[in-house]
Amino acid sequence: MSIDVFGLGQCSLDYVGKFETYPSPDIKHEFHEMVIQGGGPVATALVALSRWGLRCYFSGIIGDDAFGHSVRSSLIQEGVDTGGLLVRKGESSQFAFIVAEPSKGRRTIFWRRPTGKPPGPEEIDSTKLTQSKVLHIDGLFIEAALHAATIARRAGVQVVVDAGTLREGMLELAALADAFIGSETFARALVGDDNPVEACRKLSALGPSITSITLGPRGYVALYDGRVIQKPARQVEVLDTTGCGDIFHAGITYGLVRGWEPEKSLDLANWAAAAVSTRLGGRTGIPSLSELRARGFA
């Protein structure tokens, strides 16, 4: 069976707690709600894409611990093929605990990367990859990501990069990307100040046909075909911003699979990301396929 989206990157188990305000040091601080669910930029994007009717395959690593079991189960339950999920014996899986502050419209993430060896280029299923329509990556495992993106480009598979942090190798990855979407943090590190349009231009010069910078409550900036688009975030009652960027990227990937014009993909991304922020956790508020259809997105 062919694959719509081949994902390579992070998968995590997230504990997300709701706090009225961020606590000061050396006190006890009560929180009021908590959810435990799978997380990680690529893994969460694939969950959204699977709910939206696409066939998704995930490649990443977990440990042989209880967290890893939960991460794998969460993906399988969402219909994501975990054939590329590698288990590192005796190692620990990626984990995060997250402080959500609805009153501030923000969240703080404390995370531990997986302790196991990163996926090697030889562990990427190139057959599965070349049978896909889109490769969706986040660049954490940069050697494997560059290898996969190179294979994808040669095979005519479109490449989407979720760039949360300006890590080593990310600009090389941009040169292999069709769509490169960075965070506000990434853009500041790239150009040295708050100038997301300049960041888009600098990234576009490397080769991607679509570049974009997500700006949280300020929405996003994007550049394609020489045209700059800047739109504000959708106005919603924000509970938790965990996963908003992941779902924004999922919207871009969905549009590429469907062959849409970039602006329609960006509109889906912006709307879906806002919807996620109204619920606790990065996956709880992902809009359903029926909701996409009602808004003309499916």
Distance CA(200)–CA(190), nearest Å, equals 10
Q: Is the pLDDT of residue 298 over 80?
A: no
Please give the pLDDT value at position 32.
80
Task: Give the CA dihedral 188, 191, 193, 198, nearest 10 degrees.
Answer: -100
- The model's pLDDT over 261-271, given as tens digits with 9 standing for 90+, comes to 999 999 999 99
Contact between 148 and 125 under an 8 Å Cβ cutoff? The reply is no
Q: Please tell me the predicted confidence (pLDDT) of residue 1.
A: 66
pLDDT, tens digit (0-9, with 9 covering 90-100), for 200-240: 999 999 999 999 999 988 999 999 999 999 999 999 999 99
pLDDT recorded at residue 260: 96
Phi/psi of residue 145, nearest 5 degrees: -65, -45
Shortest CA distance to 230 belongs to which of 196, 264, 262, 261?
Answer: 196
- Tell me the pLDDT band of 58, cut-offs 50, 70 and 90: very high
Of 201, 207, 275, 202, the residue nearest 241 (C-alpha): 275
pLDDT tens column, 108-167: 999 999 999 999 999 999 999 999 999 999 989 999 999 999 999 999 999 999 999 999
Q: What average pLDDT does this structure show over 50-62?
A: 98
Work out the average pLDDT over 260-286: 96
Rg over CA atoms, the chain: 18
Q: Which residue has the tokens 């669910």?
A: 37
- The reported pLDDT for the residue numbered 253 is 98
SS3 content of the chain, % helix, strand, coil (to 5): 35, 25, 35
The model's pLDDT over 2-45, given as tens digits with 9 standing for 90+, comes to 899 999 999 999 999 998 888 888 888 888 889 999 999 999 99
CA distances from 106 to 13, 30, 76, 89, 295 (A): 20, 18, 30, 36, 27
Question: Nearest Cα to 209, choosing from 147, 261, 273?
Answer: 261
Q: Show contacts of 188-191: CB within 8 Å, 24+ apart.
A: 189/165, 190/166
CA-closest candidate to residue 135, choices 117, 164, 113, 162: 162
Give pLDDT, residue 20. 82
